[in-house]
Amino acid sequence: MTVILGIDIGGSGIKGAPVDTATGQLLAERWRIPTPEGAKPADVTRVVKELVEHFQHGGPVGITFPGIVQHGVTLSAANVDQGWIGLDADRLFTDATGCDVHLINDADAAGLAEAKFGAGVGVPGVVMVLTFGTGIGSALINDGVLVPNTELGHLWLRDKHAESWASDRARENDDLNWKQWSKRAVTYLQHLELLFSPDLFIIGGGISKKADRWRDLVTLERSQVVPAALLNDAGIVGAALYAELEAGREKPPRPASVKAQHVEQSATRKTGTKKADPVKKATKAPAKKSK
Protein backbone atom coordinates (compact mmCIF):
# COMPACT_ATOMS: atom_id res chain seq x y z
CA MET A 1 0.00 0.00 0.00
CA THR A 2 1.31 3.44 -0.99
CA VAL A 3 0.12 6.31 1.20
CA ILE A 4 0.41 9.82 -0.21
CA LEU A 5 -1.02 13.00 1.25
CA GLY A 6 -3.38 14.79 -1.12
CA ILE A 7 -4.16 18.48 -0.61
CA ASP A 8 -6.81 20.40 -2.55
CA ILE A 9 -6.48 24.20 -2.66
CA GLY A 10 -9.93 25.72 -3.17
CA GLY A 11 -11.37 29.20 -3.16
CA SER A 12 -13.01 28.86 0.25
CA GLY A 13 -11.09 26.02 1.84
CA ILE A 14 -7.86 24.02 1.69
CA LYS A 15 -8.44 20.39 2.57
CA GLY A 16 -6.35 17.27 2.69
CA ALA A 17 -6.17 13.61 3.66
CA PRO A 18 -3.80 10.66 3.26
CA VAL A 19 -4.78 8.48 0.30
CA ASP A 20 -4.25 4.81 -0.45
CA THR A 21 -3.33 5.20 -4.11
CA ALA A 22 -4.07 1.53 -4.86
CA THR A 23 -7.74 1.91 -3.93
CA GLY A 24 -8.39 5.67 -3.97
CA GLN A 25 -9.66 5.50 -0.39
CA LEU A 26 -9.00 8.24 2.15
CA LEU A 27 -7.21 6.75 5.16
CA ALA A 28 -8.28 9.46 7.59
CA GLU A 29 -11.02 12.03 7.86
CA ARG A 30 -10.47 15.06 5.65
CA TRP A 31 -9.05 18.07 7.45
CA ARG A 32 -10.15 21.45 6.13
CA ILE A 33 -8.76 24.91 6.86
CA PRO A 34 -10.36 28.08 5.41
CA THR A 35 -8.41 29.58 2.53
CA PRO A 36 -6.67 32.75 3.76
CA GLU A 37 -8.23 35.93 2.41
CA GLY A 38 -6.54 36.91 -0.85
CA ALA A 39 -4.86 33.46 -1.14
CA LYS A 40 -1.35 34.91 -1.13
CA PRO A 41 1.48 32.38 -1.62
CA ALA A 42 2.96 32.82 1.85
CA ASP A 43 -0.41 32.43 3.57
CA VAL A 44 -1.41 29.37 1.53
CA THR A 45 2.00 27.81 2.18
CA ARG A 46 1.43 28.24 5.91
CA VAL A 47 -1.87 26.32 5.64
CA VAL A 48 -0.27 23.56 3.54
CA LYS A 49 2.46 23.16 6.16
CA GLU A 50 -0.20 22.98 8.88
CA LEU A 51 -2.01 20.19 7.02
CA VAL A 52 1.21 18.20 6.58
CA GLU A 53 1.93 18.55 10.30
CA HIS A 54 -1.66 17.63 11.23
CA PHE A 55 -1.32 14.27 9.48
CA GLN A 56 2.31 13.86 10.62
CA HIS A 57 3.18 13.04 7.02
CA GLY A 58 6.75 12.74 5.80
CA GLY A 59 6.38 11.21 2.33
CA PRO A 60 5.35 12.60 -1.07
CA VAL A 61 2.58 15.19 -1.20
CA GLY A 62 0.29 16.03 -4.12
CA ILE A 63 -1.32 19.47 -4.21
CA THR A 64 -3.94 20.91 -6.55
CA PHE A 65 -3.88 24.52 -7.74
CA PRO A 66 -6.68 26.51 -9.41
CA GLY A 67 -4.68 27.58 -12.45
CA ILE A 68 -2.12 26.51 -15.04
CA VAL A 69 0.75 24.43 -13.64
CA GLN A 70 3.73 23.61 -15.82
CA HIS A 71 6.56 21.57 -14.29
CA GLY A 72 5.63 22.84 -10.84
CA VAL A 73 5.48 26.52 -11.86
CA THR A 74 2.13 28.29 -11.54
CA LEU A 75 1.46 30.37 -14.65
CA SER A 76 -1.97 31.87 -14.07
CA ALA A 77 -3.97 33.22 -11.15
CA ALA A 78 -7.58 33.82 -12.14
CA ASN A 79 -9.07 33.47 -8.64
CA VAL A 80 -6.04 33.77 -6.36
CA ASP A 81 -3.35 36.38 -5.64
CA GLN A 82 -1.32 37.53 -8.63
CA GLY A 83 1.85 36.66 -6.76
CA TRP A 84 1.38 33.05 -7.91
CA ILE A 85 2.12 33.95 -11.53
CA GLY A 86 5.53 32.63 -12.51
CA LEU A 87 6.13 31.14 -9.05
CA ASP A 88 8.01 27.86 -8.57
CA ALA A 89 5.30 26.56 -6.24
CA ASP A 90 6.72 23.01 -6.13
CA ARG A 91 9.92 24.36 -4.63
CA LEU A 92 8.06 26.75 -2.30
CA PHE A 93 5.94 23.95 -0.80
CA THR A 94 8.82 21.45 -0.76
CA ASP A 95 11.07 23.85 1.17
CA ALA A 96 8.28 24.74 3.62
CA THR A 97 7.16 21.17 4.39
CA GLY A 98 10.34 19.17 3.91
CA CYS A 99 8.33 16.76 1.75
CA ASP A 100 8.59 15.88 -1.93
CA VAL A 101 5.74 18.04 -3.30
CA HIS A 102 4.14 17.79 -6.75
CA LEU A 103 1.63 20.37 -7.94
CA ILE A 104 -1.17 19.78 -10.47
CA ASN A 105 -4.06 21.82 -11.86
CA ASP A 106 -7.20 21.16 -9.79
CA ALA A 107 -9.40 20.01 -12.69
CA ASP A 108 -6.60 17.77 -13.99
CA ALA A 109 -6.44 16.15 -10.55
CA ALA A 110 -10.19 15.52 -10.61
CA GLY A 111 -9.80 14.02 -14.08
CA LEU A 112 -7.11 11.57 -12.95
CA ALA A 113 -9.22 10.51 -9.97
CA GLU A 114 -12.42 10.02 -11.97
CA ALA A 115 -10.59 8.07 -14.69
CA LYS A 116 -9.05 5.62 -12.22
CA PHE A 117 -11.61 5.34 -9.44
CA GLY A 118 -14.75 7.20 -10.51
CA ALA A 119 -17.19 7.57 -13.38
CA GLY A 120 -14.48 7.05 -16.02
CA VAL A 121 -13.31 3.61 -14.86
CA GLY A 122 -13.08 1.20 -17.78
CA VAL A 123 -14.04 3.82 -20.38
CA PRO A 124 -11.66 3.67 -23.38
CA GLY A 125 -10.91 6.56 -25.70
CA VAL A 126 -11.43 10.24 -24.91
CA VAL A 127 -12.99 11.23 -21.59
CA MET A 128 -13.52 14.86 -20.68
CA VAL A 129 -14.01 15.88 -17.04
CA LEU A 130 -15.51 19.33 -16.46
CA THR A 131 -15.74 20.94 -13.04
CA PHE A 132 -18.55 23.48 -12.79
CA GLY A 133 -18.09 25.79 -9.82
CA THR A 134 -16.71 29.32 -9.53
CA GLY A 135 -15.47 28.78 -13.09
CA ILE A 136 -15.24 25.76 -15.37
CA GLY A 137 -12.19 23.55 -15.07
CA SER A 138 -11.40 20.87 -17.64
CA ALA A 139 -9.39 17.67 -17.84
CA LEU A 140 -8.82 15.74 -21.05
CA ILE A 141 -8.08 12.03 -20.66
CA ASN A 142 -7.19 9.70 -23.55
CA ASP A 143 -7.07 5.98 -22.68
CA GLY A 144 -6.29 6.91 -19.09
CA VAL A 145 -3.50 9.36 -19.98
CA LEU A 146 -3.92 13.02 -18.98
CA VAL A 147 -3.39 15.88 -21.44
CA PRO A 148 -2.70 18.66 -18.89
CA ASN A 149 -3.78 22.29 -18.69
CA THR A 150 -6.50 22.32 -21.32
CA GLU A 151 -8.29 25.32 -19.69
CA LEU A 152 -11.41 24.83 -21.84
CA GLY A 153 -13.49 26.98 -19.52
CA HIS A 154 -11.91 29.96 -21.25
CA LEU A 155 -13.30 29.16 -24.69
CA TRP A 156 -15.67 31.65 -26.28
CA LEU A 157 -19.16 30.83 -27.56
CA ARG A 158 -19.63 33.67 -30.03
CA ASP A 159 -19.69 36.64 -27.62
CA LYS A 160 -19.95 34.55 -24.44
CA HIS A 161 -16.96 33.66 -22.28
CA ALA A 162 -17.83 30.05 -21.40
CA GLU A 163 -17.15 29.96 -17.67
CA SER A 164 -18.56 33.44 -17.09
CA TRP A 165 -21.78 32.32 -18.77
CA ALA A 166 -22.25 28.63 -17.91
CA SER A 167 -20.50 28.00 -14.58
CA ASP A 168 -22.34 27.30 -11.32
CA ARG A 169 -21.47 30.81 -10.19
CA ALA A 170 -23.09 32.21 -13.35
CA ARG A 171 -26.22 30.18 -12.54
CA GLU A 172 -26.37 31.78 -9.11
CA ASN A 173 -25.43 35.29 -10.23
CA ASP A 174 -27.97 35.31 -13.08
CA ASP A 175 -30.63 33.68 -10.85
CA LEU A 176 -31.21 30.86 -13.35
CA ASN A 177 -33.45 27.90 -12.71
CA TRP A 178 -32.05 24.47 -13.56
CA LYS A 179 -33.71 24.32 -16.96
CA GLN A 180 -32.25 27.70 -17.94
CA TRP A 181 -28.77 26.77 -16.72
CA SER A 182 -28.95 23.38 -18.46
CA LYS A 183 -29.57 25.08 -21.82
CA ARG A 184 -26.35 27.04 -21.35
CA ALA A 185 -24.45 23.94 -20.25
CA VAL A 186 -25.67 21.98 -23.27
CA THR A 187 -24.62 24.78 -25.64
CA TYR A 188 -21.14 24.68 -24.12
CA LEU A 189 -20.93 20.88 -24.21
CA GLN A 190 -22.08 20.79 -27.83
CA HIS A 191 -19.18 23.10 -28.72
CA LEU A 192 -16.70 20.81 -26.94
CA GLU A 193 -18.29 17.78 -28.57
CA LEU A 194 -17.74 19.36 -31.98
CA LEU A 195 -14.07 20.03 -31.19
CA PHE A 196 -13.07 16.83 -29.37
CA SER A 197 -15.77 14.15 -29.94
CA PRO A 198 -15.29 12.60 -26.49
CA ASP A 199 -16.79 9.24 -25.65
CA LEU A 200 -17.84 10.52 -22.25
CA PHE A 201 -18.35 13.81 -20.41
CA ILE A 202 -18.03 13.63 -16.62
CA ILE A 203 -19.56 16.64 -14.84
CA GLY A 204 -17.83 17.43 -11.55
CA GLY A 205 -17.32 20.39 -9.27
CA GLY A 206 -19.97 21.76 -6.96
CA ILE A 207 -22.67 21.08 -9.54
CA SER A 208 -22.14 17.30 -9.26
CA LYS A 209 -23.70 17.27 -5.78
CA LYS A 210 -26.98 18.46 -7.35
CA ALA A 211 -27.04 15.97 -10.24
CA ASP A 212 -30.65 14.98 -9.61
CA ARG A 213 -31.68 18.51 -10.66
CA TRP A 214 -29.93 18.59 -14.05
CA ARG A 215 -29.14 14.98 -15.02
CA ASP A 216 -32.20 14.57 -17.27
CA LEU A 217 -31.81 18.06 -18.79
CA VAL A 218 -28.14 17.89 -19.89
CA THR A 219 -28.07 15.41 -22.77
CA LEU A 220 -26.19 15.25 -26.08
CA GLU A 221 -26.80 13.36 -29.32
CA ARG A 222 -23.39 11.66 -29.57
CA SER A 223 -21.61 11.79 -26.23
CA GLN A 224 -22.75 10.38 -22.92
CA VAL A 225 -22.96 12.80 -19.96
CA VAL A 226 -22.71 11.55 -16.36
CA PRO A 227 -22.12 13.20 -12.97
CA ALA A 228 -18.78 12.71 -11.24
CA ALA A 229 -18.62 9.91 -8.68
CA LEU A 230 -15.96 11.14 -6.25
CA LEU A 231 -17.48 14.56 -5.48
CA ASN A 232 -15.38 16.49 -2.92
CA ASP A 233 -12.72 13.80 -2.69
CA ALA A 234 -11.70 13.98 -6.36
CA GLY A 235 -9.08 16.71 -5.94
CA ILE A 236 -7.44 15.08 -2.95
CA VAL A 237 -7.34 11.64 -4.60
CA GLY A 238 -6.14 13.00 -7.95
CA ALA A 239 -3.39 15.05 -6.31
CA ALA A 240 -2.13 11.93 -4.54
CA LEU A 241 -2.22 9.91 -7.77
CA TYR A 242 -0.21 12.60 -9.56
CA ALA A 243 2.39 12.72 -6.79
CA GLU A 244 2.75 8.95 -7.04
CA LEU A 245 3.35 9.22 -10.79
CA GLU A 246 5.92 11.99 -10.36
CA ALA A 247 7.71 10.77 -7.22
CA GLY A 248 11.29 9.83 -7.98
CA ARG A 249 11.35 11.52 -11.37
CA GLU A 250 13.97 14.18 -11.87
CA LYS A 251 12.29 17.55 -12.13
CA PRO A 252 13.24 19.59 -15.21
CA PRO A 253 15.35 22.71 -14.70
CA ARG A 254 13.31 25.84 -14.05
CA PRO A 255 13.74 28.80 -16.41
CA ALA A 256 15.26 31.95 -14.97
CA SER A 257 12.05 33.82 -15.72
CA VAL A 258 8.58 32.67 -16.66
CA LYS A 259 6.09 34.57 -18.77
CA ALA A 260 2.63 34.72 -17.22
CA GLN A 261 -0.24 33.08 -19.06
CA HIS A 262 -3.23 35.44 -19.02
CA VAL A 263 -5.85 32.80 -19.71
CA GLU A 264 -8.75 35.22 -19.65
CA GLN A 265 -7.29 36.90 -22.72
CA SER A 266 -5.89 33.86 -24.51
CA ALA A 267 -9.01 32.95 -26.46
CA THR A 268 -10.31 34.52 -29.65
CA ARG A 269 -11.47 37.67 -27.92
CA LYS A 270 -10.40 39.68 -24.92
CA THR A 271 -12.73 39.92 -21.95
CA GLY A 272 -14.84 43.04 -22.14
CA THR A 273 -14.42 43.53 -25.88
CA LYS A 274 -16.71 42.67 -28.74
CA LYS A 275 -15.77 41.45 -32.15
CA ALA A 276 -18.24 41.00 -34.95
CA ASP A 277 -18.96 37.42 -35.95
CA PRO A 278 -17.79 37.03 -39.57
CA VAL A 279 -20.97 35.20 -40.58
CA LYS A 280 -23.20 37.77 -38.96
CA LYS A 281 -21.17 40.59 -40.46
CA ALA A 282 -21.58 39.20 -43.97
CA THR A 283 -25.33 38.74 -43.66
CA LYS A 284 -26.27 41.73 -41.57
CA ALA A 285 -28.77 44.03 -43.23
CA PRO A 286 -27.67 47.61 -43.80
CA ALA A 287 -28.72 50.04 -41.12
CA LYS A 288 -31.61 52.40 -41.87
CA LYS A 289 -30.66 55.98 -42.41
CA SER A 290 -31.97 58.36 -39.81
CA LYS A 291 -34.33 61.04 -41.06
| Cα–Cα distance measured from residue 190 to residue 196, given in angstroms and rounded to the nearest whole number | 10
Instruction: Spell out the domains of the chain, with CATH numbers in brackets.
Output: 3-106+236-265 (3.30.420.40), 119-229 (3.30.420.40)
Using the predicted structure, report yes or no on whether residue 28 has a pLDDT greater than 70.
yes
Amino acid letter for position 76: S
Q: pLDDT of 36-62, one tens digit each?
A: 999 999 999 999 999 999 999 999 999
Phi and psi at residue 154, in whole multiples of 5°?
-100, 10
User: Are the C-beta atoms of residues 78 and 253 closer than 8 Å to each other?
Assistant: no
The residue among 289 and 179 whose pLDDT is bigger is 179
Using the predicted structure, report yes or no on whether residue 265 has a pLDDT greater than 50.
no
DSSP string for residues in 190-234: HHHHHHH--SEEEEESGGGGGHHHHTTT---SSSEEEE-SSGGGH
Give percent of the chain above pLDDT 70: 86
Q: In 3D, which of 170, 179, 98 has the Cα closest to residue 135?
A: 170
User: Are the C-beta atoms of residues 182 and 214 closer than 8 Å to each other?
Assistant: yes
DSSP string for residues in 155-186: -EETTEEHHHHHSHHHHHHTT--HHHHHHHHH
Q: What is the pLDDT of residue 93?
A: 97
Confidence of residue 254 (pLDDT cuts 50, 70, 90): low
The residue among 162 and 290 whose pLDDT is bigger is 162
Confidence of residue 11 (pLDDT cuts 50, 70, 90): confident
Confidence of residue 284 (pLDDT cuts 50, 70, 90): very low
User: Are the C-beta atoms of residues 233 and 113 closer than 8 Å to each other?
Assistant: yes
Q: What is the pLDDT of residue 255?
A: 58
**Which H helix or E strand runs over 147?**
strand 145-147
**Which H helix or E strand runs over 139?**
strand 136-142
